[in-house]
Structures are given as structure tokens and as C-alpha cells.
Amino acid sequence: MADVIVNKVAESGLISFDLETLYPQQTRKVFDLKDHLFMGLILKEKDFRAALLQIDWNEYKDAAVAITCSADAIIPMWAYMLVASYLEPVASTVFFGTEEQMIQSLLLKNIESVNADEYTDKRVVVKGCGDVAIPEAAYVAITQKLRPVAKSIMYGEPCSTVPIYKKK
């Protein structure tokens, strides 16, 4: 008589939570003020305003846009505000910071929208490896979100997990 192969992972009742499913999917763009600095160091108001008038802002339509300055320059606060005023009517989201910071912020916002009640008294494995680099802050946020309700939280893959939390 042949031995029956049993899938113990499938029978374990583990729920896999993949943070990649919450990764921001919208188009992302960066508006770098560096491109509008005189000699790469100085923002001249008249020239800056003229340059902004020449931009086709529709290229940012429905995109999440990070406003940043990658040059080591002192940028007056009004310059960021002025760029934001042009982007607000066309972009889906306007964010101050690097693209990585924007992605993290959008990902954390998506984690906030997760209905934690769906994981009440469940054994949850937060997937650890994937095709997309997930910021550490997302793992912290999902742990905070699930800990009050989950029976247990683990990290990794269902076949190989690291215990994080277990309800007593």
C-alpha cells in the first residue's frame, strides 16, 4: 500500500499575509528641484517661476509625485509649496521627500486600511521574501495592526517560520 502524502502546511490553518499585495501600484514620479537651480546651488525666484510655467504638468496626471531636491542646496519653503500648487490638480498624491520615502508612506497608508478583524484568532505568517523590497517600517506596522487580534504572528514562509507573537 502506497504512503499518502499529506500537506501539513495546508492543514495547519496558517494564513499567509503578503505585504507585496499592499505595495503602491499607481504610477510614481519624482519632481527634483535640483533641475531648476542656478549653477546647481541657488534657486532664483524669477527663473524658477518661469521654468514652472513651461512644464507640461499633465505628465504627472494621476501619479503619486515625490517633491525633493537631490542637490545640497538651501531651498526656501515656498518653492516646495509652489511646486505642490501646480501638482495638486493633476497628481493623485503629492508627497515631500524621496521616492523611497513616498513608497513607504503609501505602503503604510495601505496597511492602515487592512481590516484587522479578518485575522481575529488566526495564525498569520507575514511573508518575508518576494520580488519587491518591502521597507522594514511595513513589517513593524503590520505587526502592530495584527497583534491585538491574531492568535499568532510568524515571519517567513508557511514551511519555515520565525515566531513573532503568540497569544497566551
pLDDT of residue 3 exceeding 80, the answer is no
Strand partners, 30: 66
pLDDT of residue 5: 54
Report the distance separating Cα 126 and Cα 45, nearest Å.
49
Q: Tens of pLDDT along 56-87?
A: 999 999 999 999 999 999 899 999 999 999 99
Could you state, in order of their start, the residue ranges of all structural domains in the chain? 8-24+104-166, 28-91
Q: Tens of pLDDT along 130-143?
A: 889 999 999 999 99
Q: How are beta strands 93-96 and 28-32 bridged, if at all?
A: unpaired
Closest CA to 128 of 105, 154, 166: 154
pLDDT of residue 145 exceeding 70, the answer is yes
The sign one gets for the Cα dihedral 104, 106, 110, 113 is positive
